[in-house]
Amino acid sequence: MTEVLFPQLSDEDPNGEGVLATWFVEDGATVAGGELIAEVMVGKVTSEVHAPAGGAIHLAVHEDDVVRQRTVIATIS
């Protein structure tokens, strides 16, 4: 099982919170390694999240949820 982390976008505030802005995949979907799966935001800075591995994805947070950087947002198995 591979964990997908909310990326650290702010070096000044590494424990700061961000928002899971968009899920491009649905819970349970099969994803390929490198596939675009989400867009996240800290402040007005956005970043894409790509699947670190292929497999079935389980989403751990909802769209628009506030999430601390580097916490698990999904698992792929």
Interface residues with other proteins (CB under 8 A) are 19, 21-22, 24-25, 35-36, 39-41, 44, 46
Residue placing its CB nearer to other proteins in the complex, 1 or 76: 76
Instruction: Say which amino acid occupies 62.
Output: H
Residue placing its CB nearer to other proteins in the complex, 39 or 53: 39
Q: Which of 74, 53, 67, 76 is nearest to 9 (CA)?
A: 67
Residue placing its CB nearer to other proteins in the complex, 2 or 47: 47
Q: How far, CA to CA in Å, does 37 sit from each of 28, 51, 58, 70? A: 12, 6, 11, 16
For residue 57, the minimal CB distance to other proteins (Å) is 13
